[in-house]
């Protein structure tokens, strides 16, 4: 079983839409969680950390559900510039496990 | 925040030659660095974990004699693709974590190296 499962999409949404991505993880001992954004032909860049209490950064909200072992990323009021691939990352011990990435295209 | 620098950003080489990629942590010491490879439209694939002062740990299916990793100092890890072939053409990305920070610190990526073998 994979450490992290992520729906690859693609998600094609109109500007202004709200879109949500989810990742599930298999190891209940995983201790840290992150969302990264990767633009085409670029390296992944940290978008935000994910906490059980949830955290929000402008239009972006990340949530962790330990009981169900999933993390989510919500993007409100989508902008054209949000088009990218979003990767979840789960840390177990000293190892980072990445999802396959979800492709988002925001359409004018 | 933590910065990881990778060089070169892109390289084109002939089949059979070797290519060295450098990864530096600029404002922190990294006892461990990670090397990833990513093919077009595919996910990140961990190749190996580079450990300062000791041998790298390779993932299953990654040839250690082909992808030589050296982590001689706390701020520098190198990946050498030996006798490169066209199928080695890919995007290679290093990453590191500042372990001085809490266990919840994120992984920071270098800007990646796009390798094209002709």
Are B48 and B62 in contact, with CB atoms under 8 Å apart? yes
**Cross-chain Cβ contact A44/B110 below 8 Å:** no
Any A CB within 8 A of B3 CB = no
Q: How far is CA B107 from CA A45, B40, B46, in A?
A: 9, 22, 13
Mean pLDDT of chain B: 92
- Cα dihedral value B65, B69, B72, B78, nearest 10: 130
* A·B CB contacts under 8 A: 42
> Taking CB atoms and an 8 Å cutoff, what residues of chain A touch B110?
43
Paired residues of B68 in beta bridges: B80
Which tens digit of pLDDT belongs to each residue from B51-84?
888 899 999 999 999 999 999 899 999 999 999 9
**Cross-chain Cβ contact A46/B43 below 8 Å:** no
**Cross-chain Cβ contact B104/A41 below 8 Å:** no
The answer on pLDDT for A93 being more than 90 is: no
Q: Which residue of B has its CA nearest to A84?
A: B41
Per-residue confidence (pLDDT) for residue A95, from 0 to 100 = 85
Which residues, including other chains, have CB under 8 Å from residue B80's CB and lie 6 or more apart? B18, B19, B20, B21, B67, B68, B69, B70
Paired residues of B11 in beta bridges: B115
């Amino acid at each position: 079983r994979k450490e992290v499962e992520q729906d690859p999409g693609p998600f094609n949404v109109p500007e202004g839409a709200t879109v949500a991505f989810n990742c599930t993880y298999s190891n209940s001992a995983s201790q840290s969680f992150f969302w990264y954004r990767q633009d085409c032909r670029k390296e992944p860049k940290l978008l935000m950390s994910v906490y059980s209490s949830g955290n929000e950064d402008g239009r972006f909200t990340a949530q962790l559900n330990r009981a169900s072992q999933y993390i989510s990323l919500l993007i409100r009021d989508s902008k054209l510039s949000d088009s990218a691939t979003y990767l979840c990352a789960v840390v177990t011990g000293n190892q980072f496990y990445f999802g396959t990435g979800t492709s988002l295209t925001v359409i004018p | 925040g933590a910065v990881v620098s990778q060089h070169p950003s892109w390289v084109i080489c002939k089949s059979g030659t070797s290519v060295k990629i450098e990864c530096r942590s600029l404002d922190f010491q990294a006892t461990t660095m990670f090397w990833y490879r990513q093919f077009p439209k595919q996910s990140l694939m961990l190749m190996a974990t580079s450990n300062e002062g000791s041998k790298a740990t390779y993932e299953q299916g990654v040839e250690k004699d082909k992808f030589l990793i050296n982590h001689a100092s706390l701020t520098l890890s190198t990946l050498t693709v030996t006798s490169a072939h066209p199928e080695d053409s890919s995007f290679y990305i290093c990453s590191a974590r500042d372990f001085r920070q809490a266990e919840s610190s994120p992984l920071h990526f270098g800007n990646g190296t796009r390798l094209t073998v002709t």
